[in-house]
């Protein structure tokens, strides 16, 4: 599915990712943990195609295609989805219009015809219900005035609508109460299938009790310094990052 080799990336001339290697096979769920400022969001944004980051080395292959050469919109159409750590508010563009345009762009890419307004409304309502977002959110501006938790659920709703083959969740769990956390986890679990993969960036192990990962990686200082099974997450929770030789406060950002 996804193969990252020796990926380096910089922002404003400052190198953040210093050689990331990661193999994600179809159906797998990978958790990426690490202290603040270690480069988790940078990795997520680079994969999604944010061109304020400069890729300075390495390669990323998605199902045999060079991901880094693809335009941002093309990556999404090919099935890459990023749930943003900080979803942006866009007043004046309604959530409905946004979702419909996005879905149709993806459908068009796959040679499917545009979804009609009635069918789309039905689908959007269903997905909103699935993440416990009231229908009225569909009519509001994109994330406009949404609470932190509502924004995260809106991200998951978009993911359910677009059915990506690779979902990258950037701290979708942070700031959520336990009910919202379960809603988000249910959403992700509903999408899990043998041909879809998930990269889950998280700070805490609690999400991992609801979405059980196949692998856990520790990202620190722009490198993956340790990988293991889900037991690694429990170990991190018990011992903190200190035992891996990471000074958490020094890298906070």
Partner 1 sequence: MTALATLAPEFASVPDSTLPGPLQRYRDNAAKAIAGMAMPTRRTENWKYSSRHLQLDTALAAPLAATGTISTDIGDAYRIVIRNGVIAADESRLPAIDGIEIVRFADLDEVNAQKIVEQLDGALDTAALQFAPLNSARLQDGLLVRLASNARLDKPLFVLCQTLAEHSGSAHPRILVDAGSHSELTLVEQHESQGDAPALVNAVTELNLAAGAQVTYVRLSLDGTTVNHIGATGVRLAANARFDSHCVGFGGPLRRHDLQIRLQEAGAECRLNGVTVTLGEQHYDNHTVIEHVAPHCNSEETYRCIAAGKSHAIFNGRILIHRDAQKSVAEMSNKNLLLSSEAEIDTKPELEIYADDVKCAHGATIGQLDAESLFYLVSRGIGRTEAGTLLSMAFINELVQQIPVESVKDAIEQRLIDFIETTFQEV
Residues lying near ligand ADP in the complex (CB under 6 A) are found at 11-12, 14, 16, 34, 36-42, 253
C-beta closer to partner 1: residue 92 or 111: 92
Residue with tokens 């677009």: 162
Q: Which of 41, 158, 183, 205 binds partner 1 (CB under 8 A)?
A: 158
Q: Determine, following the binding rule CB under 8 A, whether residue 162 of this chain makes contact with partner 1.
A: yes
How many angstroms separate the CA atoms of 222 and 53, rounded? 14
Q: Minimum Å distance from CB 107 to partner 1?
A: 9
Q: Look at residue 16 and give the partner it binds from partner 1, Mg ion, ligand ADP, none, a contact being a CB closer than 5 to 8 Å depending on partner kind.
A: ligand ADP
Helices (H), the chain: 40-48, 72-77, 95-109, 117-130, 136-139, 148-162, 178-191, 231-239, 248-251
Residue 28 per-residue DSSP state: -
Is 41 near Mg ion (CB under 5 A)? yes
CA distances from 43 to 164, 209, 224, 246 (A): 18, 24, 11, 19
The tokens for 11 are: 């922002």
- Taking CB under 8 A as the binding criterion, the range among 49-57, 173-181, 185-193, 206-214 that sits at the site for partner 1 is 49-57
Q: Measured from the CB atom, is 38 or 154 closer to ligand ADP?
A: 38
Q: Which of 6, 25, 36, 90 binds partner 1 (CB under 8 A)?
A: 90
Range 207-226, binding partner 1 (CB under 8 A)? none
Residue 72 contacts partner 1 per CB under 8 A = yes
Q: Which one, 40 or 100, has the nearer CB to Mg ion?
A: 40
Minimum distance of partner 1 from residue 10's CB (angstroms)? 17
Q: DSSP state, 80?
A: E
Q: Is 46 an interacting residue with respect to partner 1 (CB under 8 A)?
A: no
Task: Locate 246 and state its tokens.
Answer: 């990471």
- Residue 109 interacts, among Mg ion, ligand ADP, partner 1, none and using kind-specific CB cut-offs from 5 to 8 Å, with partner 1
234 to each of 84, 208, 213, 224, 229, how far by Cα in Å? 25, 9, 12, 18, 10
Dihedral Cα 193, 85, 206, 8, nearest 10 deg: 80
* Partner that binds at residue 37, options Mg ion, ligand ADP, partner 1, none, CB closer than 5 to 8 Å by kind: ligand ADP
CA-based torsion, 218, 47, 24, 193: positive or negative: positive
- The verdict on 8 binding partner 1 (CB under 8 A) reads no
Lookup: tokens for 231? 């037991």
Q: What is the dihedral of CA 136, 134, 190, 65, to 10 degrees?
A: 30
Nearer to partner 1, 21 or 74 (CB): 74
Task: Enumerate binding residues for Mg ion (CB under 5 A).
Answer: 40-41, 85
């Amino acid at each position: 599915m996804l193969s990252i080799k020796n990926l380096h990336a910089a922002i404003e001339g400052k190198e953040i990712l210093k050689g990331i290697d990661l193999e994600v096979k179809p159906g797998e769920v990978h958790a990426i943990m690490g202290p603040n400022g270690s480069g988790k969001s940078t990795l997520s944004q680079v994969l999604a195609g944010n061109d304020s980051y400069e890729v300075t080395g390495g390669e990323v292959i998605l199902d045999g295609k060079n991901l880094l050469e693809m335009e941002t919109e093309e990556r999404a159409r090919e099935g890459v989805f990023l749930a943003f750590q900080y979803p942006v508010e866009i007043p004046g563009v309604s959530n409905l219009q946004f979702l419909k345009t996005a879905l149709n762009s993806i459908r068009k890419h796959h040679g499917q015809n545009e979804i009609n307004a009635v069918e789309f409304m039905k689908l959007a309502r269903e997905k909103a219900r699935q993440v416990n977002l009231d229908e009225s959110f569909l009519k509001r501006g994109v994330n406009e005035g949404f609470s932190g938790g509502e924004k995260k659920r809106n991200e998951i709703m978009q993911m359910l609508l677009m059915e990506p083959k690779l979902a990258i969740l950037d701290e979708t769990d942070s700031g959520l109460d336990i009910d919202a956390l379960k809603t988000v986890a249910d959403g992700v679990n509903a999408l899990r299938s043998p041909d879809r993969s998930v990269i889950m960036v998280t700070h805490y192990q609690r999400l991992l009790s609801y979405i059980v990962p196949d692998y856990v990686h520790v990202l620190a200082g722009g490198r993956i310094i340790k990988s293991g099974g889900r037991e690694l997450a429990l170990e991190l929770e018990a011992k903190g990052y200190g035992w891996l030789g990471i000074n958490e406060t020094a890298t906070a950002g």
